[in-house]
Amino acid sequence: WPFYAPLIFQINALKKEKDAVILAHNYQTPQIYHGVADIVGDSLQLAVEATKVKQSVIVQCGVHFMAETSKLLNPDKTVLIPDSRAGCSLASSITAADVTAMREMYPGVPVVTYVNTSAAVKAVTDVCCTSSNALDIVNAVEGDTVIMIPDQFLAQNTAKKTDKKIITWAGACEVHETFTADDISELRHAYPTAKIIAHPECPPEVIDVVDFSGSTAAMINWVKTERPPRVVMVTECSMSDNVASETTGVDFLRGCNICPHMKRINLENILWSLHTNTEEVIVDPAIIPDARRAVERMIEMSR
């Protein structure tokens, strides 16, 4: 922490000077999460908070689709991402043309799109969802069949909890797809008294054998409420780092992967971003209304 203090101090001072707010995802490093973020949360919380921003500049500490969502909800504000190469294997797995082709294949079937997609994909879908409201959104849309894209595992995990038929896409999160039921068995063997919790982007064979599954915010909440003496958070590694300092009496054991995209954001490029007003997130104005509608519909349906 003393090493980071000068950067944290400069960022927080510049933030005020530039009338900027920092929105950070739960996968950001502790120095960002605890040091400079004004708002932290999961994808849904960040989208909801983006609708309430008063400042004229938003610095998104997360990946590109999150910054695009902030821009959709704030087309007249400046939205910055400290490194625009911060992508996502899910967002890059599907294009707007793919969605249009799927619609033609299944006429009339509603399309529920995970927020981990480009604005262009959101613009050709009916409603968005996140890992925290996926089941509610699927149950709320009309009809007994739903196209749920692009995360095959979130879709399969949701399909187990609903009566609706779900048509999936072959996308996956590169951070969560590698976890297996054998990994969980090994963790249980190594730490017999530990609770094991996982994100629903993991394959169903993992979700079936863990003690709890939910969005990043739901996982944090679960740990803070249940206070297990020992816990493994099967997700991105910064999660336990961020919660550990806020949760005494819980021993956090390692069973995580790093998201290289989330890790592109650091204190140095946040400071640079604020200094230079870069890299500005631009969304084609022609697609903003439709993409925004899909996000707003989700927020409305999650209230």
Instruction: Point out which residues bind ligand SF4 (CB under 6 A).
Output: 63, 88-90, 116, 173-175, 201, 236, 259, 261-262
What is the full DSSP assignment across 13-40? HHHHHTTEEEEEETTS-HHHHTTT-SEE
Look at residue 42 and give the partner it binds from ligand 13P, ligand SF4, none, a contact being a CB closer than 5 to 8 Å depending on partner kind. Answer: ligand 13P
Single residue of 31, 69, 70, 216 touching ligand 13P by CB under 6 A: 216
Shortest gap between Cβ of 28 and ligand SF4 (angstroms)? Answer: 11
Q: Which is nearer to ligand 13P, 175 or 288 (CB)?
A: 175
Residues 145 and 243: their CA atoms lie apart, in Å, by 38
Q: H/E element holding 252?
A: strand 251-253
Binds ligand 13P (CB under 6 A): choice among 29, 215, 240, 242: 215
DSSP letters of 199-210?
A: -TTS-HHHHTTS
- Whichever of 234 and 271 has its CB closer to ligand 13P, that residue is 234
| Binding positions for ligand 13P, 24-53, rule CB under 6 A | 26, 42-43
Q: What would the two tokens of residue 40 be?
A: 């932290």
**Interaction partner, residue 26 (ligand 13P, ligand SF4, none; CB < 5-8 Å by kind):** ligand 13P
Contacts of 220 (CB under 8 A, 6+ apart): 26, 239, 242, 243
Instruction: Describe the chain by its helix, strand, coil percentages, rounded to 5.
Output: 40, 15, 40
* φ, ψ (nearest 5 deg) of residue 125: -120, 170
Question: In this structure, what DSSP letter does residue 195 have?
Answer: E
- With contact defined as beta carbons under 8 Å apart, do 280 and 78 qualify? yes
What minimum distance in Å lies between the beta carbon of 89 and ligand SF4?
A: 5
Range 121-135 burial, b when 16+ CB lie within 10 A, else e: bbbbbbbbbbbbbbb
Residue 293 carries which side chain, given as an amino acid letter? R
- Which partner in ligand 13P, ligand SF4, none is near 93 (CB below 5 to 8 A by kind)? none
Q: Applying CB under 6 A, does 117 fall inside the site for ligand 13P?
A: no
Quick note: the x/- pattern for ligand 13P over 154-183, rule CB under 6 A, is -------------------x----------
Would you count residue 130 as binding ligand 13P (CB under 6 A)?
A: yes
DSSP 8-state assignment for residue 171 = B
Write down the number of H helices and E strands in the chain: 14, 12
Question: Is 93 annotated as contributing to ligand binding?
Answer: no
Query: Looking up tokens 């849904």, which residue turns up?
Result: 44
| Nearest CB to ligand 13P, comparing residues 109 and 129 | 129
Please tell me whether 203 is known to bind a ligand. no
- State the minimum distance, in angstroms, from the CB of residue 49 to ligand SF4: 18
Which residue among 69, 74, 116, 240 contacts ligand 13P (CB under 6 A)? 116
Binding residues, by number, are 25, 43, 88, 114-116, 131, 173, 199-201, 216, 259
Binding residues for iminosuccinate, by number, are 25, 43, 114-116, 131, 199-201, 216
- Sites of contact with ligand 13P (CB under 6 A): 26, 42-43, 116, 130-132, 173, 201, 215-216
Binding residues for [4Fe-4S] cluster, by number, are 88, 173, 259
